[in-house]
């Protein structure tokens, strides 16, 4: 009986002593990665707006997907990341998109002294591939850390729509040929742990050159500012 009691007491003391030992933060796990799901909410802005175009209300974007982490140094706090995700972006503004009898589209600034706007927006649905250079202060044992992830994001348009609701007949369109199919831009995410500031700056126009407003191309790009959440 004494032997049993001594064994139990020894085991308890050993566990306490080991629990009090400092954590070795220099430990390197050669399989450690930051594979992550991501989720982002953004405020979507239109850059390079033609004269007379303005935004109204809250234009929002929702983005989510997964990124594969590929460390490039021994500590594994520097890496490249390649991902795949989906994005939905709505832009509330005062440009009316309508169809013409020849199968094309007309673009005009809504005269709000004549026409009341209840809702006017266009929406894009994209499949996206973020490509990042990733720096962080993490270790194999530390899951809350500072990070700076920068790179590019490539997008392909899956679906688009435009909707006007106001004092004239409603105008609802989809699969508008004048939207660019391919989108690409620069990205930056920086922050601590799950919460991160995020910005995207589109390098090409949302519309093709065929979209004309007062005889000029509607050469607007997308700027997205918001929060990015990374989840292991």
Kindly provide the residue ranges of all beta strands, DSSP E only, lying in 21-100, ordered along the sequence.
Answer: 36-47, 60-71, 78-92, 95-99
pLDDT of residue 47: 96
Residue, of 140 and 199, whose pLDDT is higher: 199
- Residue 145's closest CA among 36, 18, 20, 22? 36
pLDDT of residue 138: 84
Q: Is residue 86 over pLDDT 60?
A: yes
pLDDT of residue 3: 44
- Predicted TM-score (pTM) of the model is 0.84
pLDDT of residue 30: 65
In CATH terms, 33-231 corresponds, of 2.60.40, 2.30.320, 1.10.3470, 2.40.160, to: 2.40.160
Q: Is residue 158 over pLDDT 60?
A: yes
Q: Is residue 114 over pLDDT 60?
A: yes
Q: Is residue 133 over pLDDT 90?
A: yes
Average pLDDT, the chain: 87
pLDDT of residue 22: 45
CB 213 within 8 Å of CB 95: yes
Residue, of 115 and 143, whose pLDDT is higher: 115
Which residues, at least 6 apart from 225, have a Cβ–Cβ distance to it below 8 Å?
A: 42, 43, 45, 198, 199
* Each residue's pLDDT tens digit, 23-39: 444 555 667 788 789 99
Question: How many whole angstroms separate alpha carbon 82 and alpha carbon 66?
Answer: 9
Which residues, at least 6 apart from 210, have a Cβ–Cβ distance to it below 8 Å?
A: 104, 177, 178
């Amino acid at each position: 009986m004494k032997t049993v009691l001594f064994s139990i007491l020894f085991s308890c003391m050993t566990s306490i002593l080991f629990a009090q030992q400092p954590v070795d933060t220099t430990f390197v796990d050669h399989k450690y990665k930051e594979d992550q799901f991501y989720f982002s909410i953004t405020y979507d802005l239109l850059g390079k707006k033609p004269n007379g175009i303005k935004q109204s209300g809250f234009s929002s974007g929702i983005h989510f997907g997964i990124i594969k982490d590929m460390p490039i140094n021994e500590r594994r706090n520097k890496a490249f990341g390649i991902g795949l995700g989906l994005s939905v972006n709505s832009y509330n503004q005062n440009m009316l998109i309508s169809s013409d009898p020849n199968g094309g589209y007309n673009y005009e600034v809504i005269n709000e002294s004549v026409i009341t706007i209840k809702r006017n927006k266009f929406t894009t649905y994209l499949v996206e591939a973020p490509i990042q250079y990733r720096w962080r202060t993490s270790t194999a044992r530390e899951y809350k850390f500072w990070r700076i992830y920068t790179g590019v994001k490539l997008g392909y348009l899956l679906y688009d729509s435009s909707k006007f609701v106001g004092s004239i007949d409603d105008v609802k369109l989809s699969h508008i040929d004048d939207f660019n199919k391919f989108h690409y831009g620069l990205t930056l995410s920086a922050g601590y742990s799950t919460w991160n500031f995020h910005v995207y700056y589109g390098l090409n126009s949302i519309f093709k050159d065929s979209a004309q407003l007062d005889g000029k191309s509607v050469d607007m790009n997308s700027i997205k500012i918001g929060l990015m959440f990374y989840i292991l």
